[in-house]
C-alpha cells in the first residue's frame, strides 16, 4: 500500500517517511518508488515499520544572465484541481499560466533563451516529456514510449535535454535532442539515478544517485555530459537530492535530510566536493533549489505549515523572501533569464 499526500490517489508522491509529501513524480508506483520501497521495506521489516517512499521534486538548470521570471508547478485549486505550469516575477506577482488542462504538468525547466519550457506530464499511460512556449502555446511532445520520462533539464546550448527514465530495472540518466529523438543513455548501473542538471559549460551533468544497490543513500555525483567520468560530490550517510549548478559552475545547491527534525534543508557545496554550507535551517521541508541567473539568489519550495510555497534567499543564506502565498502547493521552481 502506498499512502499519498492529501489522499489524491495516483496524482501525488507517496508521503516521505522523514517529512511531508512532495510534488508527484509519477501517477503510478513506478520503477524508482518500487525499488526504494523494496529496499526500505527490507531494512525496516524487522521492526514492523510501515514504509512510504518518494523521490523528490527536481531542481532545474540555471544559465548565466539577467534574472527573469520563475517557472514552477502549482495546483490550480485547493481541492480537486491539478498541477499546471506557471511563471511569476522573481519578486512575486504577475502569475501567468503556461499550461491549462485537466492533467498534471510538472517540473518546468527553462531553455537558455528563456523562450521555451520543457516539463513532463502524464499522457494516459505514463509520464512523457513536452516543451511549450514560455508564454503558453506551441506544445510539442518530445518522448513517446511505454516507460516514465521525467526530470528534464536543458543543456546550455539549448540543443539537448537531460532527463530520467526507467531502463526496465531502475532509473537512469538519458539525453535527447531538444526537438525530440537522438536518445543517449548516460548512466547504466544497478542503482537509481535521477535529478540531472547541466553545468553552465555543458561539459558535466550533476545528479542524485544511490550509492549501493540495497541500503545505502542518495549522494550527489557529476558525470561527463556524454557519459562516464563519474565523480562523487557528497559522501555521507544522508539522502541528498536536486542538484542545481550555480551560473559560474563552481558550486552546486541541493537538498538534504537534517537531524534531529528529519526535514529537508538547502545546502551548497563546491562542484568538485567540499566547502559544504547549510543555507536554510528550520523545522519544515525546504526543497528543489534553483540558482538565479546572476548567481546572487536561490529560489526554492518550502513548507509553510499548510502547503508548499516559493521563496528566494541570498546564495550565501539569509534574506528569505516569499514569492507565492496562497492555499495551494507551488513547487519545483526554475529561474529563467530575461
Q: Where are the domains of the chain?
A: 5-337
Q: How far is CA 15 from CA 79, 82, 85, 158, 210, in A?
A: 18, 18, 22, 35, 19
Cβ atoms of residues 110 and 337 within 8 Å: yes
What integer best gives the mean pLDDT of the chain? 84
* Residue 16: closest CA among 262, 245, 186, 321: 262
* Residue 26: closest CA among 116, 125, 130, 174: 125
pLDDT confidence of 115, banded at 50, 70, 90?
very high
Cβ atoms of residues 181 and 167 within 8 Å: no
What are the contacts of 138-145 at 24+ separation with CB within 8 A? 139/99, 140/179, 140/180, 141/180, 142/118, 142/176, 142/178, 142/179, 142/180, 143/176, 143/180
What superfamily in CATH does domain 5-337 come from?
Answer: TolB, C-terminal domain (2.120.10.30)
- Residues written for the chain: 338
pTM for this entry? 0.84
Mean pLDDT for 192-199 is 97
pLDDT the model gives residue 260: 66
pLDDT in tens, 37-68: 333 333 333 333 222 233 445 556 667 678 89
pLDDT the model gives residue 27: 29
pLDDT the model gives residue 59: 54
pLDDT the model gives residue 58: 59
Residue 234 reports pLDDT greater than 50: yes
Mean pLDDT for 62-76 is 88
pLDDT the model gives residue 192: 95
Q: How far is CA 301 from CA 80, 103, 336, in A?
A: 21, 22, 16
- What contacts 15, CB < 8 A, 6 or more positions away? 3, 4, 5, 21, 52, 54
Among 50-54, 83-87, 279-283, the range with the most confident prediction by mean pLDDT is 83-87
Residue 285 reports pLDDT greater than 90: yes
- 52 vs 225, higher pLDDT: 225
pLDDT confidence of 19, banded at 50, 70, 90?
very low
pLDDT confidence of 78, banded at 50, 70, 90?
confident
- 214 vs 254, higher pLDDT: 254
pLDDT the model gives residue 300: 98
Mean pLDDT for 31-36 is 35
Identify the bridge partners of residue 232 per DSSP, sorted by sequence position. Answer: 221
pLDDT in tens, 143-169: 999 999 999 999 999 999 999 998 778
| pLDDT above 70 coverage of the chain, percent | 81
| pLDDT above 90 coverage of the chain, percent | 71
C-alpha cell at position 75: 495546483
Residue 10 reports pLDDT greater than 60: no
Amino acid at each position: 500500500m502506498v499512502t499519498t499526500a492529501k489522499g489524491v490517489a495516483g496524482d501525488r508522491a507517496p508521503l516521505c517517511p522523514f517529512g511531508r509529501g512532495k510534488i508527484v513524480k509519477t501517477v503510478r508506483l513506478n520503477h524508482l518508488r518500487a525499488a526504494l520501497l523494496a529496499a526500505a521495506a527490507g531494512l525496516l521489516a524487522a521492526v514492523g515499520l510501515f514504509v512510504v517512499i518518494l523521490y523528490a521534486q527536481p531542481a532545474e538548470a540555471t544559465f548565466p544572465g539577467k534574472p527573469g521570471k520563475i517557472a514552477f508547478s502549482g495546483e490550480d485549486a485547493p481541492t480537486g484541481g491539478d498541477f499546471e505550469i506557471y511563471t511569476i516575477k522573481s519578486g512575486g506577482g504577475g502569475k501567468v499560466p503556461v499550461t491549462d488542462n485537466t492533467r498534471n504538468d510538472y517540473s518546468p525547466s527553462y531553455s537558455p533563451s528563456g523562450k521555451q519550457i520543457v516539463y513532463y506530464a502524464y499522457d494516459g499511460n505514463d509520464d512523457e516529456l513536452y516543451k511549450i512556449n514560455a508564454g503558453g502555446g506551441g506544445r510539442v511532445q518530445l518522448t513517446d514510449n511505454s516507460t516514465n520520462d521525467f526530470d528534464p533539464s536543458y543543456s546550455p546550448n539549448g540543443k539537448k535535454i537531460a532527463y530520467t527514465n526507467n531502463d526496465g530495472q531502475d532509473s537512469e540518466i538519458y539525453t535527447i535532442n531538444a526537438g525530440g529523438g537522438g536518445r543517449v543513455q548516460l548512466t547504466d548501473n544497478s542503482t537509481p539515478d535521477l535529478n540531472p542538471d547541466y553545468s553552465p559549460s555543458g561539459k558535466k551533468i550533476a545528479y542524485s544517485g544511490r550509492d549501493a544497490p540495497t541500503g545505502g543513500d542518495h549522494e550527489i555525483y557529476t558525470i561527463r555530459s556524454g557519459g562516464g567520468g563519474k565523480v562523487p560530490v557528497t559522501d555521507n550517510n544522508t539522502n541528498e537530492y536536486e542538484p542545481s549548478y550555480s551560473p559560474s559552475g563552481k558550486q552546486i545547491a541541493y537538498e538534504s535530510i537534517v537531524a534531529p527534525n528529519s526535514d529537508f534543508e538547502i545546502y551548497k557545496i563546491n562542484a568538485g566536493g567540499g566547502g559544504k554550507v547549510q543555507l536554510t535551517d528550520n523545522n519544515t521541508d525546504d526543497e528543489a533549489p534553483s540558482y538565479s541567473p546572476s548567481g546572487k539568489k536561490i529560489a526554492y519550495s518550502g513548507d509553510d505549515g499548510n502547503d508548499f510555497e516559493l521563496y528566494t534567499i541570498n546564495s550565501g543564506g539569509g534574506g528569505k523572501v516569499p514569492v507565492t502565498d496562497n492555499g495551494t502547493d507551488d513547487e519545483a521552481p526554475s529561474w529563467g533569464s530575461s
